[in-house]
Structure 1
């Protein structure tokens, strides 16, 4: 059975509406995607670290309860688990404040065995952070050697605007490792002061990775691959409760689609058909839309139950 390995930061998201807290759930860009995949019955493992505190206990139990292997979660003895405050505006888009313990000493990670056509998910500032770069590269090197598929969600927030020059070498390395790159126009405005998907692809992405997905909020998502535009995919209008997990669940849906269609590295290397791309983006958009229906950062349990994949996939 193919499996998905995700590496990233885990935080406790405290969600505010009208300046009042309305919920507190474990979160993090890769974490959210892994929970959604676990709810679909996908063999999933999360690589992350968290404190030996009540938040850390909640993180580990939440992963396990949702079908995600937590055996590789590192628990640091000194320092507290990070917290994120997410303030929802009138359109239910979030603005964030992050609180991290700077005294935390990052540990080496153990990496599960990887095989050909397994999928590795990396993303957000964690994938660039010099403090954990050694751990991320160790996973990427093993993934490449095994013939796994690497999916990179850039997810670069404005709060890291002043770090762009410092992390650019790591960003370029990640693009080179990646088989599929996704980013939002917000990411590229911060990184490159560009928002046109085709310009971004030709100037910044295609030299390193040939398959690129650019999401644009409520505007159509654009896919470019092998030098040209594959298509634009409209986003259905839906009532949103929170958009916090929309991009993360787009990633989960896309990865789910790779598994559902049986798409392997060989398929990627030979070039996907229009029908395959259409199916992948349809799954991605469906997962993203589902995650916007509640204050939680993931697809619902019922949605996941309806998306269960056969055990042999």
Structure 2
């Protein structure tokens, strides 16, 4: 994969995480934003990094865009929607395991692909474009087709397209709708980063090898099947390797671990590392993330884990 500007497409929400005594800390997170956060930390600051979405015109949206700018993340040609606002979620923890409560049905990000010209402009001159099944799920059917058309055009212009199916049943009207949309997305995917339990739930895959085989048959050239603390399966070209995760004895918060794995993997591939080594780096990044609270680990923590400091 060539080095260069990257873009990630989806929904960045307001994140509420408990800090004790019924107090909450507000942050900014969302699956594709978490991945871009890791990519921003682990790639050359001179490479452009943009979060492609839609934003509201409220103070929380302004604060969200300011937070991105402060951390070297742009928003390309993403629209600001009059009267719209960001989605919101709250994290509750049982030990290190988390659960989420969402308020997102009318978030601005649901309109990120309503304007095909703006979306196409946001994806111009990219080395890498990343999106997820959640990106697909929050869009209406017409907007979903707009997104896939824009991705196809970016791919034809030389961008590598990376996709995590990231299946969340509550976001889809039926599993069959999710299957059809994800299948369409795979047709424009160069690198797939699925999580095995998600694929097992949606497609009935018996093993990570079955997941990799199905995606390979769909035409995806590079596949990394994540499986939590179990080994990740990497399949590319003529290569295949099962690569052990990094063990963390006392994880603090597993929020964002898989997203950060994706960011670490893609950063390594942009740096020219081979897939197996990129998975090893990604495992280290994910292990670092589960040792801090919230979805976004500090840049220096990510860099140290990745091996750039």
What's the TM-score once normalised by structure 2's chain length?
0.84
Structure 1 equivalent of residue 133 of structure 2: 124
| Residue 303 of structure 1, CA deviation | 3.1
| Residue 20 of structure 1, CA deviation | 4.3
In 2, the alpha carbon distance for the partners of 1:19 and 1:211 equals: 46
| Residue 281 of structure 1, CA deviation | 0.6
* Among 1, 7, 20, the residue aligned to 1:5: 7
| Residue 39 of structure 1, CA deviation | 2.8
Distance 1:207 1:39, change over 3 A: closer
Structure 2 equivalent of residue 89 of structure 1: 94
Structure 1 equivalent of residue 182 of structure 2: 171
What do the CA deviations read for 1:6-64 (whole angstroms, capped 9, x no partner)?
11111111124789454321111111111222233242111011221122112101111
Structure 2 equivalent of residue 298 of structure 1: 296
Is residue 62 of structure 1 aligned with residue 67 of structure 2?
yes
Distance 1:97 1:260, change over 3 A: same
- Superposition pairs for residues 192-211 of structure 1, below 5 Å? 192-211=203-222
Task: Say whether the 8 Å CA contact 2:34–2:260 is kept in structure 1.
Answer: yes
In 2, the alpha carbon distance for the partners of 1:207 and 1:39 equals: 32
- Superposition pairs for residues 279-290 of structure 1, below 5 Å? 279-290=277-288
In 1, the alpha carbon distance for the partners of 2:247 and 2:256 equals: 16
Task: Say whether the 8 Å CA contact 1:223–1:230 is kept in structure 2.
Answer: yes
Structure 2 equivalent of residue 268 of structure 1: none
After TM superposition, where is structure 1 displaced by more than 4 Å over at least 4 residues in a row?
Answer: 17-22, 304-309
In 2, the alpha carbon distance for the partners of 1:173 and 1:12 equals: 29
**Coordinate RMSD, CA, aligned:** 2.7
What do the CA deviations read for 1:119-171 (whole angstroms, capped 9, x no partner)?
11011321344423144224302221112111101111242465321232221
Question: Any stretches of 5+ residues in structure 1 without a counterpart?
Answer: 264-275
* Among 98, 102, 105, the residue aligned to 2:102: 98
- Superposition pairs for residues 29-40 of structure 1, below 5 Å? 29-40=31-42
Task: Say whether the 8 Å CA contact 1:33–1:298 is kept in structure 2.
Answer: no
In 1, the alpha carbon distance for the partners of 2:300 and 2:40 equals: 12
- Count residues in correspondence: 294
> Which has the larger share of strand?
1
Distance 1:238 1:20, change over 3 A: farther
- Superposition pairs for residues 1-313 of structure 1, below 5 Å? 2-16=4-18, 20-40=22-42, 41=45, 42-90=47-95, 92-102=96-106, 106=111, 107-108=114-115, 109-110=118-119, 111-112=121-122, 114-115=124-125, 118-131=127-140, 132-160=143-171, 162-226=173-237, 229-261=240-272, 276-303=274-301
Question: Any stretches of 5+ residues in structure 2 without a counterpart?
Answer: none
What's the TM-score once normalised by structure 1's chain length?
0.83
Distance 1:294 1:161, change over 3 A: same
